[in-house]
Each structure stands twice: as C-alpha cells, then as structure tokens.
Chain A
Amino acid sequence: MNTKLVIPLMVLLFMLETTVVPWLIPESMHGRIAPHFVFVAALYAGLYAGRHQALLLGFFFGLMQDIVFYGHLLGVHTLLMGVIAYLTGLLLEGKRAPMLAALAVIGLGCFLYDAAAYGIYRIFRVTHKTFEFVLLHSIAPSLFLQIGFALAVYVPARRLFEARAKKNADEEE
C-alpha cells in the first residue's frame, strides 16, 4: 500500500461525493446532509500515517473542492482541511488510536470543520444565518453521515495508511 494507491482512491472518493452521493441522499435531506468523505480520509491520514501527509492531502483536496465549486470565495476548504488534518496528526500521529478514539476524533474534526467554515462565511458576510440554526439544520445531521462513513471504512483506511507510515519509517531507517 502506498501513495500510488492512496491518491487515486481519494480522487475517486472526491468524484463520488460530488456526483453519486447527492443522488443517494433522500430528497428531504437535500442541502442539509453534506458528505465530507475526502476530509474523513485526510483525518485518517493524520491519525495513522503522519501529520505532513495529512496536511498535504487536506490542502490538495481542499484546493480542488474550492476551485471546482468556486461560488462565493476561495480558500475556505483548503485552509480548514489542511489545518484540521495537520492538527489531528500533530496530536495523535503514531499513537495507534483505537477505533472508538479514532471515531471520536473524526467526529470532533468534522464538527470543527463545519463550524469554522460557517464562521468564515459569516465573517465575510456570505451568510447571516444563526449558528444555532446551521448547527441543527446541517452540521448535526452531516456529522452522523461522516461518522457512519468513518466506521464503514475504518479497517481498510487504517490498513492503507498504517502500512504507508511503516513503509516511510523503514525508508528513513
């Protein structure tokens, strides 16, 4: 398992979450549940591979999301995905966090990501909804989807990223 596999897989994940997943979300939840699968993968990279890989993956895929769906402003996802994935790596890389801890961290990371994105949009006066409303309307329901996805891919993601970290460590030695 290596970079050659991780990056194409994450590109595929990005493609799926922007094209196929919107068709799977029930109509009543449209505009409320937002998949952040690529971000979850970046958090896994922070947990099991290393903070620098996480930073690069988060930055790269955040930039992609920002440019492709350029509506109001650029840079929100680039900054947040990069920084939050890096912080996860800084705190927990190499700790071999167990499943429940990993899920808790991913949940927290996703909440932080959505809340900070709301904060930035609020500062630039793109939205004037209240935080309570956004929290109940989209952040909370999305969180369940993210944690569900994280749980579903926990085993393959951990195997993929940990193997990668081990290989990197071997190369350094």
Chain B
Amino acid sequence: MGRVSGLFRIFRNKKLFVLLIVLIVFAAIMGFSLGQRDKLTWPENFVGDTVTFVQQWFYKPAGYLAGLFEDIRKMRDIYRENEELRRTVARYARDRVTYNRIELENERLKEALAFKERQKRMFDYEYVIAQVVAVSQDPLNPTFKINLGSTDGIKPDMAVITTDGLVGLVSRVFPLYSTVMPITQLDSESSGTRAISATVMEHKESFGVIEDYDVQRGMLVMNRIAENDPLSENDVVITSGLGGVYPYGLVIGTVESRQVGDFGLTHTAYIKPAADFDRLTEVFVVVPPDTEGAAP
C-alpha cells in the first residue's frame, strides 16, 4: 500500500512531470529537424551566422600557427613534395596541349551534332572556393562550417571537394555560412545520407555504389559492382553523376581491395579516400550550372 502511494507521489512530482513534457517536446523537435530542409527559420539563421561570424576569427589563425610548427617539422617532406609537384607540373603542361586540342574538337563535334544549350552546359561546373571556419566536436555529427551561404548561391546537397578529392555534401545552408557533412558519414542504413554512384577513371563502363564508410579501416565501401566489372586495385574511383546529387567526375579515392559481396551476387570494393578529412582549411563547392534558367 505504502509502495503504491509512493509511486503515485512520484507522478505527482512537478519536476518529473516537467521533465516528461520536455522529453516529448525535444523528441518532436528532433524528428521535425531530421529530414531535408531547404530553408531554415530566422532564429536558426541568426544564431548560426552570428556565432560562426565570431568563430572564423579563431580557426584560421590557429591553423596558421599549427601549420607553422608542422612546416618546420616536415622540412624534409617538403623537399620531396616539391620534387613531385615539379614532375606534376611538367605532366600538366604536356596534358594541357592535348586538352586544348581535344576541347576544340569536342566543341566542333557538339556543334555538328546540334547539341542544345542545356546539354552543352551540363558539365560546366563552377568551383567556388570556401574557407573552413569551425569544426564540430561531436564524433557522431562531425560537420564543419564553410564561409559561403545561401546569399552566395549555395544550396543543400552541393558537393564539396578539396584539391585531392571529394570531401562531403553541403548539409544545411545559413544565409552567410553553411554546414558540410563529410562523406565519412555515409551509411546505407541511415535515412539522411545519400549514396554516391561511382565509376572508374580507367574504365568508363565500371559502376558501383558507395554507401558506407568503414571507420575501423578508414575506407569507403563500394557495393553492387558487377561480377564481370573491369574494376581492379589501384584504379581511381570518380563520381559517375548518375544519381543526380553528385556531379560527374569528382575524384573519390583509389581501390584498395575487391572481394565478393555479402550476398555473393555482386562484388564489394574498399576505397581509400583521396581527400584528408581533418585539418581542412580551404575547400571548393561544386556549383552545377543553373540548367532550369538556361534557354531551351
């Protein structure tokens, strides 16, 4: 009897009642904020942009200082890197000549085949440079902020790359800043992330879907590769542009290993990401051409 009345007293406790209400309200907020949202409300915009405005004064100087010490420590590496870059530049100069010739020829062929304006501009991506201004400290929500927002024409789901390769997707857009979700958050069982349809630079007919990230190995998992697919180790994996979210031709990484997948019907490959996900300072947002606005 005493125990039962004690139980009732707990429920009559005002604090517990308030806690229950708070839990319900927060569950509702979390559920509501989970999915895709093109526009944020003004309080979110205000708080997000004001705080990030201050954060940007800290991140870059810290990066410079850290980089300074790193540079002194890595003097030897820099010599080697310099050597390598020189070789790359030489190769670039050579490729540039070929590229100019091929581009001209491509233009001519497009004219000849009467390509529509929209089709011609399909791959005219614009690479907008952005500075990273802050990094989240939640391991399960490792977003970072860049200093471009909706006023600069950034929209959710735009791809973000470094000079090495694909880093992530724009997740939420504030007026002056946006959050970027790295591709290490790819998860086939999660509702929010988008898989990357990928192909290989060496073989155009290759196809696979990158939909997971193996944290223990630090590698992306590429599934649904056909058995007779020519994909092999050390191939460079790029986006195929077939999913409609990621643009065409962004470097993702190199194939580390390939084996038969879970169900034995298709193959699975582990991809070593080309980009480094930590200590980012400068990234590029890939802005696809505004195809809706183009003349028919």
Interface residues in chain A, defined as those with a beta carbon under 8 Å from any beta carbon in chain B: 14-24, 27, 30-32, 34-36, 63-65, 67-79, 83, 117-118, 120-121, 124-129, 133-134, 137-138, 142
Contacts and interface: CB of A to CB of B under 8 A. Distances in A.
A63 B47 contact: yes
Given A68-B51, A69-B145, A138 B139 contact: yes
A14 to B, nearest CB: 8
20 contacts: A15-B55, A20-B58, A30-B277, A32-B139, A34-B137, A63-B47, A68-B52, A69-B143, A70-B143, A71-B179, A72-B141, A72-B181, A77-B138, A121-B140, A124-B30, A125-B191, A126-B190, A127-B140, A127-B190, A137-B215
A60 to B, nearest CB: 10
Centre residue among A16, A63, A70 by max chain B CB count within 10 A:
A70
B189 A36 contact: no
A52 B278 CA distance: 37
B5 interface: no
A118 B139 CA distance: 10
Interface in B198-237: 215-216
A15 B190 contact: no
Contacts of B52: 68
Interface of B: 19, 22-23, 26, 29-31, 33-34, 40, 44, 47-48, 51-52, 54-55, 58-59, 62-63, 65-66, 133-143, 145, 171-172, 179, 181, 184-185, 187, 189-192, 215-216, 277-279
Nearest to A137: B215
Given A73-B33, A76-B30, A133-B215, 5 more contacts: A18-B136, A65-B138, A68-B136, A74-B30, A79-B26
> Among B52, B185, B190, B216, which residue has the most Cβ atoms of chain A within 10 A?
B190
Given A15-B58, A18-B137, A117-B140, A70 B22 contact: no
B48 A70 contact: yes
Contacts of A76: 30, 138, 141
Given A18-B55, A27-B278, A36-B137, A71 B29 contact: no
**Residue from B55, B136, B141 whose CB has the most chain A CB atoms within 10 Å:** B141
Contact of B34 (A36, A64, A124, A127): A124
A71 B30 contact: no
